Amino acid sequence: MQGSGDPLLLIHGGILADSNAPLCVEPAISNSYCVISYHRRGFANSARVSAPYTIAQQAADGRALLYHLEIPRAHILGHSYGAAVALQWALDSPAEVHSLALLEPPIPSVPSWPMFLEGVEAIRKEMYECGHRVAAVEAFLTAVVGPEFHQYLDKYLPSGAFDMAVSDLDALFQNEFPSLMGWRFTANEAGRIQQPVLAVVGSESTPMFQEGHTILRQWIAHSEELIVPEANHGLPYVNPGALAKGLARFFAAHKL
């Protein structure tokens, strides 16, 4: 936790535990908000899990963290899998969620989902289950961020981010994807979201995340939109400056 102002809790995605680190030091965010960034269960030094740990349970972890910090209500930002956690949190305990910034949540009902899942399954069977963990991380990040992902990691993320992803890979295949397959988020659930919502998408993101962004905007009619230029699914570490400025505008318009 660092800074002062409205509390802003950041929930990272499914493979890079420090993917939100660049946002914590962007002046548009760090100068105006009390920023809370943590490692979800299964990542970095947080506790490991031996069975699928549901998205609702991940949301409960975030709620427990705010309770521990004696923060009753906060802006919640979620990236990728973390955005699914943020959405579930808003459904389960809406009083704690003042606003939602959703950075390309995975929505399994979009047309491109089966093709994406097929690619992930191939990585799991041909690399992860064969013990080729480095190759599996390389393949997954190439699929969602692009072949140039290393340059972004080296420029923006803390040293050792890739090695940590290799160490945390079990969480992705043993926990995150099984939990995501069991997650229910449809137009009915989306209709229950009453908080201010910022739907964020990269201008160069793959079709699956573009489709997810479109359907999220349709399902949550009051949502606002932020298209981050020169960015793909690695939004927080591909173009953190532009992302931070857009986020700051949204949060400033919806103060606690």
In a domain, 1, yes or no: no
50: pLDDT strictly greater than 80: no
pLDDT for residue 173: 92
Q: pLDDT tens across 189-227, in order? A: 999 999 999 999 999 999 999 999 999 999 999 999 999
In a domain, 219, yes or no: yes
pLDDT for residue 47: 85
Kindly state the percentage of the chain with pLDDT values over 70: 100
- Quote the domain boundaries for residue 26: 6-253
pLDDT for residue 53: 87
The C-alpha atoms of residue 103 and residue 201 are separated, in whole angstroms, by 6
pLDDT for residue 124: 96
In a domain, 85, yes or no: yes
Q: pLDDT tens across 65-115, in order? A: 999 999 999 999 999 999 999 999 999 999 999 999 999 999 989 999 999
What's the whole-number mean pLDDT along residues 134-146?
A: 95
**CA angle, 13 then 19 then 21, to 5°:** 135
161: pLDDT strictly greater than 90: yes
Query: Residue 176's domain is classified under what CATH number?
Result: 3.40.50.1820
Number of domains in the chain: 1
Residue 9 exposure: Cα atoms within 13 Å on the Cβ side: 30
77 phi and psi angles, rounded to 5 deg = -115, 130
Task: Tell the residue number behind the tokens 């945390």, with chain if given.
Answer: 168
What's the whole-number mean pLDDT along residues 159-175?
A: 93
Q: pLDDT tens across 195-204, in order? A: 999 999 999 9
In a domain, 99, yes or no: yes
- Burial classification of residue 57, based on how many CB atoms lie within 10 Å of its CB (0-12 exposed, 13-18 middle, 19 or more buried): middle
In a domain, 170, yes or no: yes
Find out whether 138 and 89 touch, Cβ atoms under 8 Å: no
Confidence of residue 169 (pLDDT cuts 50, 70, 90): very high
75 bridge partner residues: 8, 99
89 phi and psi angles, rounded to 5 deg = -60, -45
In a domain, 212, yes or no: yes
